[in-house]
A = this chain, B = another copy of it.
Amino acid sequence: MKDKIARFLDENEPESPCLVVDLDRVADHFRRLAAGLPEAEIFYAIKANPARDILMTLLPLGARFDAASIYEIRQCLAAGVSPEEISFGNTIKKESAISEAHEAGVSLFAVDCESEIDKIARAAPGASVFCRFLTSGAGADWPLSNKFGVSPAGVAEVLEYASSRGLRPAGVSFHVGSQQRELEQWDHAIGQASKLFLAAQKSGLKLDLLNIGGGFPSQYREETPALEATCDAIQQAIRRHFGTSPPRLIAEPGRYIAGDAGVIEAEIVLVSKKREGGRRWIYLDIGKFGGLIETMDEAIRYRIETPYDGGTTGPVVLAGPTCDEMDVLYDAAGYELPLDLKEGDRVRILSAGAYTASYSSTGFNGFPPLREYYI
């Protein structure tokens, strides 16, 4: 990966900052996940990186698509995705969006409460729904445990309500949290799902869909399990909890597909030793509002390459270029970078292909959105 991207950067010298994504690597990730979970339908979580080039890379490989909004659905349809291969995976949808999706042929929707079901029953009669249930988010660098999902005890009621409103209660979904690094979390969640299948059966509902969401990690600074280990953990958990009649399986990777395929090149704007006591601050030309919002609370810790790797390093506070105090990337995370770094040097932020460009602001402090190259 690095070779192709490095070659592109060296040959083209694009203006800094910019994101370069290697589409071969995107395809490799998809194939590797498909090989690791051959029983799963893989719905790419478009929100991780909605670039058309990524959709067009994944489409011929058999990918399906998990859309967070009607805008992403429109984008899929424009790219030639068939509506049966789109899941409207956001539990928060305007009725007008549900209606437009339904008319376009989308028939699978996420829910986690009765009022969402009312909207779907009106706007997409007969559609299939899956109910998201809450997990703890433990073990994830970017947990997803509070805003989405009903408590497991409430799932049967939600699905029964869907059935009573003429919808097809297809199954359940969960999300172990983005950038999940603890393999046992998969077992907890899949075990919980199997109990929900049984409970639903007692209520007379026959579920046949298990959506295990995303959480497949990228390679940031902290060590993460290999993809194959994650896939093994999932398969073991499904065997353990569902035995010989597993349900239809859906996975929704986003970060795993796009993250490691991208590199952000940035420039050092200022190296400052202005603080007494000697903390060195390095200010880059990209920060939280230029695409690195996942450094919020220093949650996602990117690996950083510099021209002086191997040389003597020292502690550093890393910050972005805007006049906003919040635009500090890493302070407590204990980053150490070469002491030789100086203004004008370029650094590379690795595994930055997911959850970067589409987050970038339209123009905070006047800075333009992150430039993007797909090669």
Contacts and interface: CB of A to CB of B under 8 A. Distances in A.
Interface of A: 46-47, 50, 67-72, 75, 89-95, 112-116, 119, 137, 142-148, 150-151, 153-154, 158, 267, 269-276, 281, 283, 285, 289, 296, 319, 321-328, 343-344, 357-369
A324 B47 CA distance: 10
Given A319-B147, A343-B119, A153 B276 contact: yes
Given A71-B366, A365-B72, A269 B113 contact: no
Contacts of A147: 281, 319, 324-325, 327-328
Contacts of A344: 95
B325 A144 contact: yes
Given A92-B270, A323-B90, A151 B47 contact: no
A89 to B, nearest CB: 7
A213 B94 CA distance: 42
B50 A363 contact: yes
15 contacts: A68-B322, A68-B323, A68-B366, A89-B323, A92-B269, A92-B283, A94-B267, A94-B269, A115-B343, A143-B325, A144-B324, A296-B296, A358-B363, A358-B364, A362-B369
A158 B59 CA distance: 57
A112 B116 CA distance: 53
Contacts of A72: 365-366
Nearest to A143: B325
Contacts of A289: 359
B321 A112 contact: no
A142 B114 CA distance: 38
A69 to B, nearest CB: 4
A54 to B, nearest CB: 14
A374 to B, nearest CB: 16
A363 B116 CA distance: 24
A368 to B, nearest CB: 7
Nearest to A342: B115
Contacts of A148: 323, 325
Given A360-B362, A363-B358, A113 B328 contact: no
A326 B115 CA distance: 23
A321 B96 CA distance: 14
A95 B345 CA distance: 12
Closest 9 pairs between A and B when the two form their complex, measured CB to CB: A71-B366, A113-B274, A72-B366, A68-B365, A69-B366, A113-B272, A92-B283, A144-B325, A362-B369
A92 B321 contact: yes
Contacts of A326: 296
B361 A362 contact: yes
A15 B89 CA distance: 23
A115 B271 contact: yes
Contact of A368 (B71, B269, B285): B71
